[in-house]
Amino acid sequence: TAFLHGELEEEIYIKQPEGFFIPGCEHKVCKLIKSIYGLKQAPKDWHQKFDDIVLSNGFVLNQADKCVYIKFDTSGKGVIICLYVDDM
């Protein structure tokens, strides 16, 4: 469901989905408010949102691998997050 709730960076319009035409308005398009499956930008938008949230919580992005986040406390205990998003 992550791709269904992703924030969009730009305005995107699509044809009305098949079976959901509004009578008399078949020529109109729909403006997307959130990302959807099949949208080329969905994985990138989701990763950007994840990146913003994780970094705002004190994690540091690994410079060698942009999908690895690291956070250590003062006692030396830490958390390492390795993220994989298909089609990114």
Q: How does residue 4 score in pLDDT terms, banded at 50, 70 and 90?
A: low
Interatomic CA distance for residues 1 and 12, integer angstroms? 19
Q: Residue 13 has which token pair?
A: 């319009």
11-57 pLDDT per residue, tens: 888 888 788 777 888 888 888 776 666 566 667 777 788 889 999 99
Residue 87 lies in a domain: no
66-77 pLDDT per residue, tens: 889 999 999 999
Residue 50 lies in a domain: yes
Domain extent, residue 62, equals 2-82
Residue 88 lies in a domain: no
Please check whether residue 40 is in contact with residue 8, taking contact to mean a CB–CB distance below 8 angstroms. Answer: no
Domain total in the chain: 1
Closest CA to 62 of 80, 44, 85: 80
